[in-house]
Amino acid sequence: MTSAQIASTGGFRLREFRIEDLVPLTGVFNATYPDEPTTLEEQEHWERVYPADNPRLRLSAETAAGEFIGLGQCQHPYWLDAPGVYNAYAVVAPAWRHRGVGRALFARLEPFAVAQGATRLHVPDCREDLTDSVRFLDSAGYTNIGVRFEQKLDLTAFDEAPFAAVFQRVAEGGYTLTTLAAERAMRADADQALFAVADAVSPEVPLPGDVRIRLTYNDFVQSTLEGPNTDPAGILIAKQGEGYVALTAVSVPQAGPAITNATYVLPAHRRHGLALALKLHSFRFLRARGYVEARTHNDTVNPPILRLNERLGYQRLPGWLVWEKRLS
C-alpha cells in the first residue's frame, strides 16, 4: 500500500499514517479522554520504541481538505502471549463521529488481521461510557469478553491511619521498603533485578480472552523504567536482605492524575502486607509531588487486587471493555 488515498466517502478519505499525524492525534486522544490527557512527548516515545519488525497497519482519516480526523490501528500484541490474537482500535475526532469514519477504518483493519493469520481480533480499549462505540462494536459482530476496571482515589482525603500497622508487620517480616532511585545509587544491576520480579509474576496476571503478559527486559525498561511519565523515586520496592521481592510502579504525567501501572509480589512473599505497604508508600510519594488523585486499572479476573483497592477506598470509574471477534 502506498501513501495514496485508499478510500473516500462521506467527505473523508483514508490514507497511510504519517509521523506528522502524531500532533493532531494527540489532540484527538485528549478530546476523547480529557480526564487522562496524553502529550506529544508520550506519543513520540511509543513511536520510537515500537518494535520495527512487529506487524502493524495504521490508517489515518482526513477531510477532503487534508485535516486529520482519526486513526485506526491493527497490530500483533507483542507484549502478550496470545496465539492467534491481533488488537485493533480506532479513535475519531468528536465532530466527525456518527459519519462512518470508524466503520471505514475497521473495514480495513479486519482484513489485515486475517491476512496476518489472526483467528481472533481484540478491541481492548473501548471505555464503557462511550456508548456509541459500544453499539458499533456490538453491531459489528464483536462480543464483550471482560472489563478492565478503572478506579480513582482522592489523595487529599485519604487517611493512612487505619492501615499504619502494616509497616510494622512488614518490618517484623524482615522486609525493607525503598525506591528504584535509591537502589540505582547502590547497585549497577538494580534494573535487571527488578525485572526479575516482574518477569516472574507478570505471566500470572489473568487477562480476558485467555491471554497472558509476555514481558521482555527491553519492554519493561521502555514501558516502566524509562517512559516519559516515569520517576525512579515513584517505583517502590520491597526487599528482604538484598533481594527484591515486590514492586509497585506509578506513572506521574505532566497533566492529569497519577496512575499505578503495576504491583507485583513474588509468590513466596505474599500474605505479608507488601502490596498494601507499597501502595501506601506510593501515596506518600504522590502527595509529596503534589498529586491529588491516583488511578489504577485492574481486570475482573484479578479479584485479589480489586479487593485491596476497595479496602483503600478507591472509587470505580467507567471501565475499559474488552471485545473479541472470531475471524475466518
Cell numbers found for residue 322: 474488552
Q: How far apart are CA 155 and CA 284, in angstroms?
A: 9
- Name the one residue in this structure whose C-alpha cell is 508520550: 42
- Name the one residue in this structure whose C-alpha cell is 518490618: 171
Q: How far apart are CA 62 and CA 56, in angstroms?
A: 20
Contact in structure between 204 and 214 (CB atoms under 8 Å): no
Cell numbers found for residue 106: 475497521
Q: Which CATH superfamily is domain 7-118 in?
A: Gcn5-related N-acetyltransferase (GNAT) (3.40.630.30)
Q: What pLDDT does 210 receive?
A: 87
Q: CA 223, 228, 232, 236: dihedral to nearest 10 degrees?
A: -50
Half-sphere exposure of 210 (CA within 13 A, CB side): 4
Cell numbers found for residue 278: 507499597
Q: What pLDDT does 65 receive?
A: 95
Angle at 28 between CA 23 and CA 30, to 5 degrees: 100
Q: How far apart are CA 213 and CA 234, in angstroms?
A: 22
Q: pLDDT at residue 6 above 60? A: no
What architecture does CATH give domain 151-320? 3-Layer(aba) Sandwich (3.40)
Contact in structure between 63 and 55 (CB atoms under 8 Å): no
User: pLDDT per residue over 44-98, tens digit each?
Assistant: 999 999 999 999 999 999 999 999 999 999 999 999 999 999 999 999 999 999 9
Q: Is the fold of 7-118 the same as that of 151-320? A: yes
* pTM, two decimal places: 0.90
Percent of the chain scored above 90 by pLDDT? 86
Q: pLDDT at residue 2 above 50? A: no
Q: How far apart are CA 198 and CA 190, in angstroms?
A: 13
Q: pLDDT at residue 8 above 60? A: no
User: CB within 8 A of 256, min separation 6: which ones?
Assistant: 35, 36, 37
Q: How many CB atoms lie within 10 A of CB 313?
A: 14
Domain ranges of the chain: 7-118, 151-320
Q: What pLDDT does 114 receive?
A: 97
Helix (H, G, I), strand (E, B) or coil at 4: coil
Contact in structure between 3 and 18 (CB atoms under 8 Å): yes
For residue 1, what pLDDT band results from cuts at 50, 70 and 90?
Answer: very low
Element (H, E) at 110: helix 101-115
